[in-house]
Amino acid sequence: MVTITERFLNYTKFDTQSSEEGTGCPSTQKQLVFAEYLKNELVAEGLQKVEMDANGYIYATLPANTDAEVPVVGFIAHMDTSPDCSGADIHPRIIRNYDGKDITLSEGIVSSPAKFPELLNHIGEDLIVTDGHTLLGADDKAGIAEIVQAMVYLQQHPEVKHGKIRIAFNPDEEIGMGAHLFDVGKFGCEFAYTIDGSEVGELEFENFNAASAKIHLNGCSVHPGYAKGKMVNAGRIATELVQMLPQDETPETTEGYEGFFHLTSIQGGCEKADVSFIIRDHNRLKFEQRKERMEEVVAVINAKYGDGVAVLDMNDQYYNMREKVEPMMYIIDMAKQAMEQAGVTPRIQAIRGGTDGAQLSFKGLPCPNIFAGGINFHGPYEFVPVQSMEKAMMTIVNICQALTK
């Protein structure tokens, strides 16, 4: 049998980086190359009803091996890697029996516990690391490997009884589009889990409410020597607008359940400028208040400089899945028990971000998030312990078995 390590390393050979500049789905055609590979692998591993649609979404079934009435459960992971760091020509390496010391990834590039203390939580384990020039792709190819390996395990251990299981792999999660074309009806599950968390033990059913806000600023460019009373400097107004928002409510000043306004870009000059933010809060009321604050800031700018100087384009992106999961808290309790059976201490926490599961929950598929084991996602210091992947795989197996009891 292919080991989970071998399976994951095979997946890292594929560059599946998504792109916010893409105009179709998937946002990059190279994701379809990996999708085709996965489709063929699932067929070879004995999965049934394996299909890939035109957008690269893959669905497959492991039939029940019991006649008992069992809810259909799903497991989901995403194929793309982050646009934040190159995912091409990845050169992974396994550090056996990690000793807690600095790891030289390449000459002059060191992953050190002094900077990444989470390394010390994995002394004695086998760490898969990068060469320091690309990300690793454990987000979320580790999740894919764990789901596939769990399906193989269940087929090889018929004594482990389970109902019908559905699995799905989707593109473009990293750019917030992964759930948009996900066919919940076709998937046909009562609930599901994304295997897309980080550190071993993470179990998440709360996430941010999220919105994007882009302010288009229209200035008036005049020769600076004769500009008094005439010039409207869009670039300067952009900096003024940023300062009007709470300076202690940014990502670098908040944690836990604290929300924020995050400035993502300022572009332009005197004539035209664009300011982009993302708005986040776990509390729905506070989230709505943050959007109102953004509207108020734009109104102040227009009152000061003239109507139409600032034009706000604000859109909700996703909502906190908690309200959709809470009526079915037994799926959280079941995941906790499955982790404990796998030798994992569950750590329930709120995501300071979002997952495909958040959007899927609002499409009628309650979908909390379980750890995949990778750490330091989206950068060259990313790593994943082999033992964490194995525990995630067994957590999936244990969930499937628990539904028959």
Return the active site residues: 80, 173
* Tokens (6 digits) for 252: 């670098």
The beta-carbon contacts of 53-56 under 8 Å, at least 24 apart in sequence, are 53/183, 55/25, 55/26, 55/171, 55/181, 56/25, 56/26, 56/31, 56/32, 56/170, 56/171
Place of tokens 């394996």: 50
End-to-end CA distance of the chain: 28
The amino acid at 85:
C
Handedness of CA 165, 168, 174, 178 (dihedral sign): negative
Tokens of 179: 């759930």
Cα–Cα distance between 50 and 403 in angstroms, integer? Answer: 23
State the Cα–Cα distance between residues 298 and 351, nearest whole angstrom: 29
Place of tokens 């033990």: 201
Burial 108-137 (b: 16+ CB within 10 A, else e): eeebeeeeeeebeebeeebbbbbbbebbbb
Q: Is 214 exposed, middle or buried (0-12, 13-18, 19+ CB in 10 A)?
A: middle
Residue with tokens 């994304």: 194
